């Protein structure tokens, strides 16, 4: 365990379903992230929350909706997804203080398959 826990680890959903991914960190970090990881592609940053405020939204389609109720929890709500959204979704956290190294601690990911 890395200190960042993601559930579920595996999810299969149809294009009309609504589901949510959950992430929880117990590291006292102030920033949390959602990344998409597809085979043989670089990690794609989707959302960043810093002190519960969303600071980055890299043109992610509206069918992905993040929620950060507090600095320890992060959700990714999914609805009307497309097959090309099938990927590993990684959550990460870090302590952002503007001093330099922004070391991310990742969860093990949620493997999503859209049928």
User: From the list 43, 52, 67, 80, which residue makes contact with another protein (rule: CB under 8 A)?
Assistant: 43
12-20, 39-47, 61-69, 73-81 -> range binding another protein (CB under 8 A): 39-47
Task: Examine residue 8 and say whether the peptide bond preceding it is cis (omega within 30 degrees of 0).
Answer: yes
Q: Which of 34, 76, 93, 107 binds another protein (CB under 8 A)?
A: 107
Give the CA count within 13 Å in the CB-facing half-sphere of 80.
3
CA distances from residue 97 to 32, 48, 62 in whole angstroms, order as listed: 13, 15, 30
- Token pair, residue 9, equals 């680890």
Is residue 48 part of the contact set for another protein (CB under 8 A)?
Answer: yes
Scanning the structure block, which residue is given the tokens 């952002």?
Answer: 96
Q: 3-state DSSP call for residue 100?
A: coil
Near another protein by CB under 8 A, which window of 22-30, 59-67, 69-77, 90-98? 90-98
Residue with smaller CB distance to another protein, 5 or 17? 5
x/- binding map, residues 52-81, to another protein, per CB under 8 A?
----x-------------------------
Q: Which stretch binds another protein (CB under 8 A): 17-25, 68-76, 78-86, 93-101?
A: 93-101
Residue 85, SS3 per DSSP: helix
């Amino acid at each position: 365990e890395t200190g960042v826990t993601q559930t579920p680890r595996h999810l299969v959903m149809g294009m009309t379903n609504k589901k949510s991914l959950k992430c929880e960190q117990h590291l006292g970090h102030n920033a949390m992230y959602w990344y998409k990881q597809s085979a043989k592609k670089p990690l794609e940053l989707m959302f960043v929350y810093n002190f519960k405020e969303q600071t980055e939204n890299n043109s992610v389609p509206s069918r992905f909706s993040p929620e950060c109720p507090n600095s320890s929890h992060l959700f990714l709500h999914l609805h009307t997804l497309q097959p090309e959204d099938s990927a590993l979704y990684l959550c990460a956290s870090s302590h952002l203080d503007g001093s330099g190294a922004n070391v991310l601690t990742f969860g093990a990911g949620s493997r999503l398959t859209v049928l």
